[in-house]
């Protein structure tokens, strides 16, 4: 979990950042999934299918985030999760193509401008740290009828373990499973599983050390 504020300047910063976010959370609260807590919602946050979204306590959603929770299950945010500004969580890839769902566990931080494409189910563990412009693609196109654009999609899902560090601009592709205590260098494209305790980087991402 991230450290608590220690100085007056820290508290002043938090107060200026919070603003009306608790009020926005209260306005959304009656429409959220049963058992949800009141989130902190930044200015310009848009949530589609609020009844599919469940927030634990102390969840912060930054300004101008877009959450389309049109999915077969739910979009769940654990205690103390932070999603920074301008992030997109997209569970629907077409009118008749809703995704499976998303679970982000306690204490995880996702940086600005993240793009989380939910086709297959995405699971993100506890206390993960992700930089800006991280992308998850939990589906892939299949050329079964001679056309990638008109063909079907395959959805396996993505699993991220606990205490995982993901640098800026990393892309994680469908079917990938990442273990615990993993670090992934900025700009990497992850197209295969990563075991516990390893450091990977590159396009495609390859093991550097453990």
* pLDDT per position as a tens digit, 110-165: 999 999 999 999 999 999 999 999 999 998 876 666 666 666 778 899 999 999 99
13-42 pLDDT, tens digit each: 665 666 778 889 999 999 999 999 999 999
Of residues 167 and 2, the one with the higher pLDDT is 167
User: 141 catalytic, yes or no?
Assistant: yes
Domains of the chain (ranges plus CATH)?
Answer: 8-178 (2.160.10.10)
Closest listed residue to residue 175, CA positions, set 195, 157, 189: 157
Catalytic hit among 2, 12, 17, 141: 141
Q: What is the pLDDT of residue 146?
A: 64
pLDDT of residue 151: 63
User: What is the rounded CA–CA span in Å between residue 157 and residue 100?
Assistant: 9
Residue that is written with structure tokens 């494409």 in the block: 117
- pLDDT tens digit string along 77-110? 999 999 999 999 999 877 678 999 999 999 999 9
3-state secondary structure of 188: coil
Q: Residues 69, 72, 78, CA angle at the centre, nearest 5°?
A: 55
154 or 68: which leads in pLDDT: 68
Is it the case that residue 4 has pLDDT exceeding 60?
Answer: no
pLDDT tens digits along 161-209: 999 999 999 999 999 999 999 999 999 999 999 999 999 999 999 999 6
Whether omega for the bond prior to residue 204 falls within 30 degrees of 0, making it cis, is yes
pLDDT at 3 over 70: no
Q: In angstroms, rounded to a whole number, what is the distance separating the alpha carbons of residues 193 and 200? A: 11
pLDDT at position 202, please?
97
């Amino acid at each position: 979990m991230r450290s608590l504020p220690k100085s007056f300047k820290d508290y002043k910063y938090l107060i200026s950042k919070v603003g009306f976010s608790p009020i926005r959370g209260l306005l959304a609260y009656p429409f959220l999934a049963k058992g949800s807590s009141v989130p902190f919602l930044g200015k310009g946050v848009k949530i589609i299918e609020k009844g599919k979204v469940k927030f634990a306590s102390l969840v912060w959603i930054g300004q101008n985030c877009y959450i389309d929770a049109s999915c077969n299950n739910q979009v769940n945010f654990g205690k103390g999760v932070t999603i920074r500004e301008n992030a997109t969580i997209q569970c629907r890839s077409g009118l008749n193509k809703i995704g499976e769902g998303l679970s982000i566990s306690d204490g995880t931080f996702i940086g600005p401008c993240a793009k989380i494409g939910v086709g297959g189910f995405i699971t993100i563990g506890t206390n993960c740290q992700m930089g800006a412009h991280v992308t998850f693609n939990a589906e892939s196109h299949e050329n079964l009828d001679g056309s990638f654009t008109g063909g079907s999609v395959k959805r396996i899902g993505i699993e991220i373990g606990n205490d995982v560090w993901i640098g800026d601009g990393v892309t994680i592709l469908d079917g990938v499973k990442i273990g615990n205590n993993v670090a992934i260098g900025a700009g990497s494209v992850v197209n295969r599983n990563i075991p516990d305790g390893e450091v990977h980087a590159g396009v495609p991402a390859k093991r550097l050390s453990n």
